[in-house]
Amino acid sequence: MASITIRNLDEETKQTLREYAAKNGRSMEEQVRLILGDVKKLSLLEPAQIFNPIATSPIHQQSEEKGAPPVNLKGKLILLVIGGGIAAYKCLDLIRRLRERGALVRPVMTNAAHEFVTPLSVSAIANDKVFSELFDRDDEHDIGHIRLSREADLIVVAPTTADLMAKMAQGHANDLASTVLMATDKPVLIAPAMNPKMWSHPATQRNIKLLHSDGIHFIGPNAGEMAESGEAGLGRMAEPLEIVSAIENLLLPKKIPQPLAGKRAIVTSGPTHEPIDPVRYIANRSSGKQGHAIAEALGQAGAEVILVSGPVDIPDPENCETINIQTAREMQQAVETALPADIAVMVAAVADWRTVNASDEKMKKENGKGPASLQLTENPDILKTLGHHKQRPQLLIGFAAETEALEEHAKAKLKSKNADWIIANDVSPEGGVMGGDKNTVKRLSKSGIEDWPKMDKSEVAQKLVNEIIKHFTVETLEI
């Protein structure tokens, strides 16, 4: 290996380099080569980050660890597919780092990987059996390739060879590694490692594009010295700690701000079904999309959310407690039971009327008698009940769905229901709001009317939740 001569380095920089290289178990020369190899990446960083590349570069900060790592991957099962490349030796360190953090690592080795690292070492460090053969009768009986890929929380392929990338991109399943990668329904993170010429080859570049579009996550490769050839360039596998950090990013919940933490919200959503007889009912076209989106956005902002939902065909948001009801009266009861609350957003399209006496038996068509007449009575007005309730939520928001004189009706509703805000939407059939994904609304409050542009229902939900957050922030500041 040719040596690198760098003149005029001051003593302090030399010492820093010496210590840094020693910490990473490298010679100073190797360390300098690595840093130079990363110059291409550093040039993409902000000048402030480049100022002290050793201390601040995201490429290098992961190489050091101070003290014991957090046990933040406890209970996570990682299926580690080890490909046949020189960098396979680094997977031993990767397994160790993952296990230190509490993860369970189940190794799968390609046949080629056996040439680079022994299954005995991998299995000893992982404290698990190494899986290699697709047609192993015992393995297939004990666990099976489908379970192997599905039981994991994440599949990590490290190193990912050019060959494995090609197989993944083309959908091959002719050995255990490629089959588990095809059979999985879990996220897949790959850490490519190969000669720079193999990396830049048009075939590999085509595969990279395909894998990106298939939603495969990448970590690396880094620029640097190639272990096997003395060549340098892009193709070095990411360091084990960089891979750990990418795994943490994928598996651990993001720390999103929780401005509504400690607040309790009730949201109603969907239509109500008012029975006529056991098979017929009065309903409307509400899909629940807007109400569910608001409940979910409130949950994401940290609120404890009780979602009272009429019959809908969409899934319950994961971050809410959902109470399923059929009729307006059931909805009212569920809402009142859920009190007290800081916030109530009444989005459901509650049927205004129900039949006076729903028949217990299916009503029969009787020849010559003409259609049965339905006698209707008014349903409870849930928004109005809450507006005048002794446990009235601090912020009460109603929805007004109108097909004409939107503002006029919404203004009247704001007053008569004693609501704080009314979100008014025009539900004329030509607007496609009922059941659709978009909504155009106006927000009415005592201080005026705001027109919001046409947005996805999820965006309306987010904007509304932002207004709710603002409302409570201002309140807090005023205290």
Ligand X SMILES: Cc1cc2nc3c(=O)[nH]c(=O)nc-3n(C[C@H](O)[C@H](O)[C@H](O)COP(=O)(O)O)c2cc1C
163 near ligand X (CB under 6 A):
yes
Q: Find the binder of ligand X among 35, 59, 85, 149 (CB under 6 A).
A: 85
Burial degree of 459 (CB within 10 A; 0-12, 13-18, 19+): middle
Contact 80, 95 (CB under 8 A): yes
Q: What residues does 444 pair with on adjacent strands?
A: 422, 449
Question: Is position 284 annotated as part of the catalytic site?
Answer: yes
CB of 393 to ligand X, least distance (A): 59
Residue with Cβ nearer ligand X (82 or 422): 82
Q: Find the binder of ligand X among 112, 183, 314, 339 (CB under 6 A).
A: 112
238 near ligand X (CB under 6 A):
no
113 near ligand X (CB under 6 A):
yes
Interhelix angle 162-170/176-183, rounded to 10 degrees, is 40
**Considering 127, 174, 249, 284, which one is annotated as catalytic?**
284
Side-chain-facing half-sphere of 355: CA atoms under 13 Å: 17
CB of 330 to ligand X, least distance (A): 58
Distance separating alpha carbons of residues 222 and 241, to the nearest angstrom: 13
CB of 194 to ligand X, least distance (A): 4
B/e letters for 220-252, b = 16+ CB within 10 Å, e = fewer, are bbbbbbbeeeeebbbbbbbbbbbbbbbbbebbe
Q: Find the binder of ligand X among 228, 361, 366, 404 (CB under 6 A).
A: 228
CB of 150 to ligand X, least distance (A): 22
Q: What residues does 269 pair with on adjacent strands?
A: 309
Q: Nearest to residue 382, comparing CAs of 356, 423, 348, 414?
A: 348
Residue with Cβ nearer ligand X (190 or 422): 190
User: Which tokens go with 48?
Assistant: 């402030």
Distance separating alpha carbons of residues 294 and 265, to the nearest angstrom: 10
Q: Which of residues 327-346 bind ligand X (CB under 6 A)?
A: none
155 near ligand X (CB under 6 A):
no
Q: Which residue in the block uniquely carries the two structure tokens 């697709």?
A: 134
Q: Find the binder of ligand X among 57, 63, 110, 286 (CB under 6 A).
A: 110
How many degrees, rounded to 5, is the angle at CA 51 between CA 49 and CA 52? 90
Burial degree of 313 (CB within 10 A; 0-12, 13-18, 19+): exposed
Residue with Cβ nearer ligand X (237 or 419): 237
Contact 280, 363 (CB under 8 A): yes
Q: Which residue is nearest to ligand X (CB)?
A: 85
CB of 290 to ligand X, least distance (A): 49
CB of 168 to ligand X, least distance (A): 10
406 near ligand X (CB under 6 A):
no
Number of residues that bind ligand X (CB under 6 A): 16
108 near ligand X (CB under 6 A):
no
Q: Find the binder of ligand X among 161, 207, 222, 309 (CB under 6 A).
A: 161
164 near ligand X (CB under 6 A):
yes
Q: How many CB atoms lie within 10 A of CB 188?
A: 24
Which residues are catalytically annotated?
A: 284
Footprint on this chain of ligand X (rule: CB under 6 A): 83-87, 110, 112-113, 161-164, 193-194, 198, 228
